[in-house]
Amino acid sequence: MSVVIDGKALAASFRADIAAQVTRLGERYGKTPCLSVIIVGDNPASRSYVRGKIKACREAGIESRLIEFPDTISEEELLSSIARLNADADVDAVLVQLPLPSQIDSNRVIDAISPEKDVDGFHPTNVAALFLGRPCMAPCTPKGIIAMIDSTGSVIDGARATVVGRSNIVGKPVAKLLQDRGATVTVAHSHTRNLAAVCRDADILVVATGHAGLVTADMVKNGAVVIDVGINRTAEGKLVGDVDFAGVSPKAGFISPVPGGVGPMTITMLLANTLECFKNRNEKQNK
């Protein structure tokens, strides 16, 4: 039977450390890190994610400012709001909750956030830096996934890793982070032939597709570390991942649950990135 990676407990220990750093740096610089979150419209899932982020900030001693717009907002108005936050010396980090309404070009919005305040690590400057191996703001979910794998004591260096999913926010960056840590990485997607064999080859299997129960026990190597990123709601309203947890658990070495796995670690890395933005900005100012 596998060990369940308790994302909530791991998140709590990271958050305690972040809160201690917030206090220490607050004393050094005489101010508190500040994250501005923009939300557009009333999407219930987005609202719930944002509530979680704001609560986590409060608990870590990070100031958060919520800016709410109706879903009728124009792209220009949204871009002006971002420009104001970029120029605001009291704001360290800026997050625009996605998805955005159809009249707004998300790429233009992401591009408008100052790379040094780009807490999600989605700006092309940060993405390019990540892929060039330069200092950057790495995206939260991939960072959280690496921390979860590390928490198992499994060695990434030299391991075979398969990432199922090639999105810009999860699949591609987590594959790059695993590669940077010395794993031999295969990135699978909807065109992959014989997905089961590609997954079975992996010592570390990261699944981020948005397809409930896609990965079944026959697709998992004995003893593998399985990280389930997917968030899917069943017809009964239950949250489930992309991995058949009950079937895969007896076979995997370690497995992350949904909920209570990657989700809490993603928010934790948002706090870590906010702190990093704060440190970078203050160290620059003190040079």
Which of positions 193-232 make contact with ligand NDP (CB under 6 A)?
Answer: 195, 208-211, 214, 229-232
Q: Which residues pair with 162 in a beta bridge?
A: 186, 205
CB closer to ligand NDP, 108 vs 166: 166
Q: Which of 21, 92, 117, 120 is catalytic?
A: 120
Instruction: Compute the least distance from the CB of residue 200 to ligand NDP, in Å.
Output: 14
- For the CA atoms of 208, 210, 211, 217, the dihedral, rounded to the nearest 10 degrees, stands at 30
53 in active site: yes
Residue 185 interacts with ligand NDP (CB under 6 A): yes or no: no
C-beta of residue 173 within 8 angstroms of C-beta of residue 139: yes
Residue identified by tokens 């219930």 is 44
Residue 91 interacts with ligand NDP (CB under 6 A): yes or no: no
Residue identified by tokens 């709590």 is 12
6 in active site: no
40-73 burial by CB neighbour count: b if 16+ within 10 A, else e?
A: bbebeebeebbeebbebbeebbbbbbebebeeeb
Question: What are the residues whose beta carbons fall under 8 Å from the beta carbon of 223, sequence distance 6 or more?
Answer: 203, 252, 253
CB closer to ligand NDP, 211 vs 279: 211
Residue 46 interacts with ligand NDP (CB under 6 A): yes or no: no
285 in active site: no
CB closer to ligand NDP, 135 vs 237: 237
Instruction: Compute the least distance from the CB of residue 44 to ligand NDP, in Å.
Output: 14
Q: Which of 92, 97, 143, 221 is catalytic?
A: 97
Q: Which residues pair with 66 in a beta bridge?
A: 37
Round to whole Å and give the CA distance between 130 and 248: 32
CB closer to ligand NDP, 20 vs 45: 45
CB closer to ligand NDP, 232 vs 282: 232
Which of positions 109-148 make contact with ligand NDP (CB under 6 A)?
Answer: 141
Residues present in the chain in total: 287
Residues that bind ligand NDP (CB under 6 A): 141, 164-167, 169-171, 188-192, 195, 208-211, 214, 229-232, 262-263, 266
Catalytically active residues, by annotation: 53, 97, 120
